[in-house]
Amino acid sequence: MSEIHIDALLPPEMAARTEALGVRKAEMPLLKMFMLAVLAGAFISLGAIFSTTVSAGSMTFTAQSGGLAYSGSLPFGVTRLLAGLVFCLGLILVVVGGAELFTGNNLIVMAWASGKVTTRAVLRNWVVVYAGNFIGAIGTVILMFFTKQYTFGGNSVGVTALRIGAAKSDLDFLQAVALGILCNGLVCLAVWLTFSARSTLDKIAAIIFPITAFVAAGFEHSIANMYFIPYALAIKMFDPVFTSTVAESVPNLDQLTWQAFWFSNLLPVTIGNIIGGVFLVAVVYWSIYLRHASSSS
């Protein structure tokens, strides 16, 4: 009878596992890769829906000369903690259910650095998965708009969705890059930790704290923002009566535009996500555990 191992894998074994998985991801057939990427975009959107709903009605903002003052039924930190905990649903579905997420796939760089996949294969994966994630997120936006779930809770869900979209559209370029770097550092660390897991419960436990941390801290995730901002834009554009009713409760609503989505958020956040995932996680762990093995082979 073969021996059953229940201990978590150690970091050197995790590095080898990450490298092997990177090769499989890079060599995956195009249609399969795209379909799994669409699923991942929808899965992350489900986490965003959960997070928006839980946050609804828990905080309000008032304009002051110095900016925005927070007030609400829950302390700001507690609200962000709850939002982060439930957002974990997205990555849990991706990792356990099996899907291709652009931000997590930045770890393919470990296989590339070892010479086991080509630059072309890495870029192919990133482009196809990014496009699939976008389609999955936009498809979820369309479906969610027709549910009119944003009117639930006395319109509080819609107010929260608009606030999130407006706030994300009002970032400075460099600020968005920095928030993206820190975000995907944590996301890739969460994925990295799941490679130590022997069971589904291990994987879920590994995901919870890093993902909760990035949401609670307000860091920026490009794939999540493919849902957050277009959903807010859909409400603003296609339900003007609702939007005019709640407009006074949404600071900086005028900043919520498609141009801001593309150039003030998605572009810089994507750049930041790549920097964070590649240089803060993939390159660091490759240098520690795989560099010498690669050079000696």
Predicted pLDDT at 8: 86
Predicted pLDDT at 63: 39
Condensed to tens digits (0 to 9), the pLDDT of residues 54-89 reads 999 875 544 343 444 445 578 899 999 999 999 999
The secondary structure of residue 108, as a DSSP letter, is G
- Three-state secondary structure call for residue 196: coil
How many angstroms separate the CA atoms of 287 and 225, rounded? 31
How many angstroms separate the CA atoms of 275 and 291, rounded? 20
Contacts 24+ apart (CB under 8 A), 212-216: 212/81, 212/84, 212/85, 212/87, 212/88, 213/84, 213/186, 214/84, 214/182, 214/183, 214/186, 214/187, 215/51, 215/80, 215/83, 215/84, 215/87, 216/77, 216/80, 216/81, 216/83, 216/84
Condensed to tens digits (0 to 9), the pLDDT of residues 116-132 reads 999 999 999 999 999 99
How many angstroms separate the CA atoms of 49 and 143, rounded? 12
Cα R_g (the chain), whole angstroms: 20
Task: Give the pLDDT mean for 213-231.
Answer: 98
Task: Please choose, from the candidates 222, 74, 52, the residue with its C-alpha nearest in 3D space to the C-alpha of residue 153.
Answer: 52
> Within 13 A of 64's CA, how many CA atoms are on the CB side?
8
Predicted pLDDT at 61: 45
How many angstroms separate the CA atoms of 274 and 185, rounded? 9
Predicted pLDDT at 295: 54
Q: For residue 231, what are its two tokens? A: 């959903």
Task: Please choose, from the candidates 91, 273, 287, the residue with its C-alpha nearest in 3D space to the C-alpha of residue 185.
Answer: 273
Task: Give the pLDDT mean for 168-173.
Answer: 98
Task: Give the pLDDT mean for 125-150.
Answer: 98
Q: Domains in the chain, please, with CATH?
A: 11-290 (1.20.1080.10)
The secondary structure of residue 197, as a DSSP letter, is -
* Mean residue pLDDT across the chain: 93
pLDDT over 50 (residue 17): yes
The secondary structure of residue 9, as a DSSP letter, is P
Predicted pLDDT at 147: 98
Neighbours of 241 (CB within 10 A): 6
Is residue 242 within 8 A of residue 155, CB to CB? The reply is yes
